[in-house]
Amino acid sequence: MPELPEVEVTAQRLRASLAGATLAECRSGAKRLRHPFPKAAATRLAGQPLIRIGRRAKYLLLEFPPGWLAVHLGMSGAIRLCGPDEPEILHDHVRMRFACPEKIMVDLVYHDPRRFGSFRWIDRRYADSLDQQLSNSPLGVEPLGTVFNGAYLHKASRGKKVSVKQWLLSGHAVVGVGNIYASEVMFISGIDPRRKAGSLSLAHCELLADAIVKVLRQAIDAGGTTLQDFTAPDGSEGRYGQSHQVYGREGLACPRCGKSIVRIVQQQRSTFCCRGCQR
């Protein structure tokens, strides 16, 4: 599921519901996720206040005084909030019980059919290398941050021989653009996704940067995209799928020129684009 907008929507809604909460207990299931669940750290967190809920790239950061629980939703992960008495359902893997103000207990449940998601513990002593703790490959800048713009993209893309689409997906320059939003932003900026990243002009990069910011913002406002599994913590589905111009629309008419949208494969992943509009 989750690209940056879905993780951001999750973070925003958790912030609203878990303000002032303290972790009471944390249980994890028998089936492993991408990484073993950090049981020892989670046990140690019992009684600790949840200080802040952050996000870096597609990682959700639950911050406690001793450090961070970094949650990644993988392909099919979703978090829901529920009461302590609500039963487990198939593919629930982690349940964190929080004591909220007024002594209301709220459970945060991590649900993930494919189990590509992960929980990792990052001790506060590694705070200055948070990015390296989160990911093995270098994490680019935040697309909704202050340093991201066309000039930045242009500079970062010099000499890159990979296709623009793969370059965006790698997250080396800018994070958070996954397979759905990559197709959308390439279409909106009118760039052929097969072009080498290093061949983009400054003007192209400005169009591309503007499209990335616009699409991600709109997707966040719409509650993200739900293909199958994603829901926000209150169980609601993302509505941005209704706004997709090309993703998942092979054979349908291009909204700009009316030609048929095509599906191509790059690095074993689908890209949707219009041969008429994207150069």
Partner DNA sequence: CTACGTACCTGCCAGC
Partner DNA sequence: TGCTGGCAGGTACGTA
Selecting among 13, 55, 56, 58, the annotated active-site residue is 58
Q: Where are the alpha helices (DSSP H) in the chain?
A: 4-17, 39-44, 130-134, 150-157, 164-170, 179-188, 202-221
> Does residue 166 belong to the site contacting DNA (CB under 7 A)?
yes
How many degrees, rounded to 5, is the angle at CA 213 between CA 165 and CA 229?
A: 70
**34 touches DNA by CB under 7 A:** yes
Burial 123-154 (b: 16+ CB within 10 A, else e): eeeeeeebeebbbeeebbbbbbeeebebebbb
Whether 88 is a known active-site residue: answer no
Q: What is the footprint of DNA within residues 90-129 (CB under 7 A)?
A: 90-91, 113-116
239 binds DNA (CB under 7 A): no
3-state SS assignment for residue 133: helix
User: Should residue 236 be labelled a site residue for DNA when binding is judged by CB under 7 A?
Assistant: no
Cβ proximity of 94 and 20 under 8 Å: no
CA 55/CA 63 separation, integer angstroms: 10
- CA nearest neighbour of 152 among 86, 208, 83, 218: 208
- Kindly state the smallest distance separating residue 68's Cβ from DNA, in Å: 15
Is residue 153 at the binding interface for DNA, with CB under 7 A as the rule?
A: no
Rounded-to-integer distance, Cα 202 and Cα 20, Å: 46
Counting contacts by CB under 7 A, is residue 149 touching DNA?
Answer: no
- 269 part of the active site: yes
Residue 200 CB, shortest distance to DNA, in Å, is 14
Contact residue for DNA among 72, 154, 204, 249 (CB under 7 A): 72
Q: Does residue 3 carry a catalytic annotation?
A: yes
Q: How far is the CB of 151 from DNA (least distance, A)?
A: 19
Does the footprint of DNA cover residue 227 (CB under 7 A)? Answer: yes
Is residue 270 near DNA by the rule CB under 7 A? yes
Binding site for DNA (CB under 7 A): 1-3, 6, 31-32, 34, 57-58, 72, 74-76, 90-91, 113-116, 135-137, 160-162, 166, 169, 171-172, 178-180, 225-230, 238, 267-270
- Catalytic positions are 2-3, 58, 269
